[in-house]
A and B are shown apart, each in its own frame.
Chain A
Amino acid sequence: MNENLKSIFYPLLLLGGLLVLWVFAVRNWGVPNYILPSFESVLGALHRGYIEGAYWKDFGYTLSSMLLGYVSGCALAFIMGMMFAEFRWLERLLYPFVLGLQSMPKVALAPLILVWFGFGIGSKAVMVALVCFFPMFINTAVGLKATDPSLIDLMRAFSASRLQILMRIKIPSAASHIFAGLQISIVLGLIGAVVAEFVSSSHGLGYLINNATTTLDTSTMFAALISLAVIGILGSQIIKFLQRKLVFWENDNDTQVAA
């Protein structure tokens, strides 16, 4: 078996083992359903949700608040990170505040954001944007500043403008850092979306989970969790794919990003 097949086969083997253990535990050890739903009931919930279509609305709600917040949060963070790296005075002015905000758990702001931005999808998107902002911002700023100073000297020696240096040298140099930010923000953004829905929402996968607690409907919880995982994994894979295509020159030393 070659290495590629092994890296697919081994996790599948573990997954299979866990599923067997799960089914066995529910059937033979009498683990009650409100603690651990049976495999079949989770499949049933997923069937009801996505074949019969009961969850699509919630899936769409969470996905759109996630996308809206992610794109706007990351775009804003990219622009701000760029300005931060380019203008020393701006960095001096804002750095303590950035540090302060960064040390604060952003999810604790969720109730406040709901008050400020209402109970619709807008407040969820703002929450997502907020948690996406910092990793993207820091990575952009750090990446731009890590540009090889010799390359900048070289461009300056050819009378290149600041904008030329930024566009042609600094941004491509920072590409891996920027993608690392995008990667971390996917996972964090999803947390933001779910937390905002927990606080107050009548839609979304987070709402489904929260709502299911009242009836101890663990199979719905499991189904919603699986849905969230799918969004997270797909998002990460899309970013990874884009990175491989766009930052092709660094594929050899593939760096793993931990969120």
Chain B
Amino acid sequence: MIQEGIPTMSGELIFRAENLGVTYQSSRGPTPALENFSTEMAKGEFVSILGPSGCGKSTLLKVAAGLLTPSSGVVELAGEPITGPRRDVGIVFQQPTLLKWQTVLDNVLLPIRTLGMDLEVGRARAHDLLRLVELENFERHYPHELSGGMQQRVGIARGLVHDPSLLLMDEPFAALDAMTRENMMIELQRIWMETRKSVIFITHSIPEAVFLSSRVLVLSHRPARILKDVTIDLPLPRTQETLGSARFAELCSELRAMFSQTKK
């Protein structure tokens, strides 16, 4: 059974949104992208935001990153309102968005340099993270020498290098082929198990959301509202076998049913 509603939370909150609304001013007048969005997220949770394309998922991510000021409502990170860019947030994009003119190691160090953090500490963390994403032998390589999946793993290492309390991922596997995608999913699961970071994961892939998340928020069409808040009870760690399990298939089809309802 899928449990509904906000699950009981133990531990401190990392992210909280209350009646969050974002309205864009376009040439055709105000366009609401996000409406009455309220949720809470506990530290260490992996929350997927699942919704149709163009529903305002990325808007939510921009608000969480402090790149966009909401038109209404409250949004908090670790108990403090988000008023602008914050150093305790990491971002991974749909494309690897690496600096092509810098080595893998320098790319991972970009947040450290930009934030003016201690380079020695950062370098040690970068080495550890590159080992974690299994790219320790590629530190001196340039992005164009790596495959798409490897580049995206560099992106993940870069997202984590400054030890953010919240990692935002915007459809990070969308640009990868199906095989790589599945491997990356398992890889990310392992990374999350090891780091226990709080993650907001934007996706429109149901299997991805079910496999990775502790909770899935299903969003409606624009303006995005939360239709369902689903706790995923699949046992951890999830592996290749999880993908073939009956429970996994069940959760996927239940979500799919909900997802198709949102079209009406």
Contacts and interface: CB of A to CB of B under 8 A. Distances in A.
Interface of A: 148, 150-151, 153-160, 164, 168-169, 172, 175, 247-250, 252
B100 A151 contact: no
Contacts of B95: 148, 150
B115 A159 contact: yes
B200 interface: no
A158 B85 contact: yes
Contacts of B97: 148, 150-151, 154
B87 A159 contact: yes
Given A150-B93, A249-B143, A249-B144, A156 B67 contact: yes
- Name the 5 nearest CB pairs between A and B, nearest first: A158-B114, A249-B100, A150-B97, A159-B85, A150-B93
Contacts of B143: 249
Interface in B54-96: 62, 65-67, 84-85, 87, 89, 91, 93-95
A154 B91 contact: yes
A169 B99 contact: yes
A148 B95 CA distance: 10
Interface string B28-43: 0000000000000000
Contacts of A164: 114
B248 interface: no
Contacts of A155: 114
5 contacts: A153-B67, A153-B91, A158-B85, A168-B99, A168-B114
B142 interface: yes
Given A150-B95, A164-B114, A157 B66 contact: yes
Given A249-B101, A250-B100, A252-B144, A160 B67 contact: no
B87 A158 contact: yes
Query: B67, B85, B114, B143: which has the most chain A beta carbons within 10 Å?
Result: B114
Contact of B85 (A157, A247, A250, A252): A157
B65 A157 contact: yes
Contacts of A157: 65-67, 85, 89, 91
B111 A249 contact: no
Contacts of B101: 172, 175, 247-249
B85 A151 contact: no
B144 A160 contact: no
